[in-house]
């Protein structure tokens, strides 16, 4: 078993380069695509998202091939429990009035700035933005849940000290 939990951090910028290039290319091409038509801009944005997501899946699978059984077990535990805990936490967050009000105000502000949605109505844009922000919130909280579950796994296994071990009655 290796001691490197996060791998070789120095090489991380190298495998992130294609993601940065795709995002930059889509961002630079978006004004042109909007002039051509909204359908072209939507297709270009979705193609960019699919390219980045596909590359990330390929990078994870390539990295996973070099893991030993302990790291694979840690990854399985973190993914299975982290997604569940994260989804539950996101659902609970969306039930809290401050978070719900913040999301409503965010959608309302974006509708005022952008005007109308693809269907030509402000309501269509509001529904689209609310769906997008809700899904984004769930994914971010689930990713945090996976991180917490990974820390729980490594703490239970006795390795990868993230938090100091507090001693009762001693120094």
- Model pLDDT for residues 3-50, shown as the tens digit of each residue: 454 455 555 566 677 778 888 888 888 888 888 887 888 888 888 888
Q: Tell me: the pLDDT tens digits for 79-109?
A: 888 888 888 998 898 889 998 888 888 888 8
Report the C-alpha gap between 119 and 160 in whole angstroms: 51
Q: What is the DSSP letter of 66?
A: T
Whether residue 76 is found in the same domain as residue 39: no
Determine the structural domain holding residue 29 and report its residue range. 1-66
Nearest to 53 by CA among 8, 23, 12: 23
Predicted local confidence at residue 41, as pLDDT:
83
Whether residue 126 is found in the same domain as residue 163: yes
The pLDDT-based confidence of 1 (bands split at 50, 70, 90) is very low
Residue 141 has pLDDT above 60, yes or no: yes
Q: How high does pLDDT run on average in the chain?
A: 78
Domain boundary among 48, 66, 84: 66
Predicted local confidence at residue 127, as pLDDT:
81
Whether residue 90 is found in the same domain as residue 132: yes
Nearest to 6 by CA among 157, 159, 166: 159
Whether residue 60 is found in the same domain as residue 73: no
Report the C-alpha gap between 131 and 28 in whole angstroms: 26
Which contacts (CB < 8 Å, 24+ apart) does range 26-33 have?
none
Report the C-alpha gap between 77 and 153 in whole angstroms: 7
Report the C-alpha gap between 124 and 118 in whole angstroms: 7
Q: Tell me: the pLDDT tens digits for 64-84?
A: 788 788 888 888 888 888 888
Predicted local confidence at residue 14, as pLDDT:
66
Q: What is the DSSP letter of 146?
A: H
Q: Where would I find the H helices in the chain?
A: 12-36, 38-64, 69-95, 97-114, 122-156
Whether residue 75 is found in the same domain as residue 107: yes
Sign of CA dihedral 122, 126, 129, 132: negative
Domain boundary among 66, 89, 106: 66
The pTM is what?
0.61
Whether residue 107 is found in the same domain as residue 156: yes
Whether residue 55 is found in the same domain as residue 116: no
- Residue 38's alpha-carbon distances to 6, 44, 103, in angstroms, are 41, 10, 26
Whether residue 41 is found in the same domain as residue 108: no
Domain boundary among 15, 39, 66: 66
Looking at the structure of the chain, the number of domains it has is 2
């Amino acid at each position: 078993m290796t001691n490197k939990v996060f791998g070789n951090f120095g090489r991380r910028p190298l495998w992130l380069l294609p993601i940065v290039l795709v995002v930059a290319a889509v961002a630079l091409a978006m004004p042109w695509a909007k002039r051509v038509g909204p359908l072209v801009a939507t297709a270009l944005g979705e193609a960019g998202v699919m390219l980045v997501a596909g590359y990330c899946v390929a990078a994870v699978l390539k990295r996973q091939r070099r893991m030993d059984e302990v790291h694979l077990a840690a990854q399985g535990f973190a993914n299975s429990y982290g997604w569940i805990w994260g989804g539950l936490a996101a659902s609970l967050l969306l039930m809290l009035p401050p978070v719900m009000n913040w999301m409503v105000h965010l959608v309302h502000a974006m509708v005022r700035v952008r005007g109308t949605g693809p269907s030509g109505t402000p309501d269509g844009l509001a529904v689209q933005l609310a769906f997008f922000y809700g899904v984004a919130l769930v994914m971010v909280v689930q990713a945090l849940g996976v991180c917490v579950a990974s820390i729980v796994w490594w703490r239970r296994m006795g390795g990868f000290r993230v938090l100091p071990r507090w001693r009762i009655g001693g120094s």
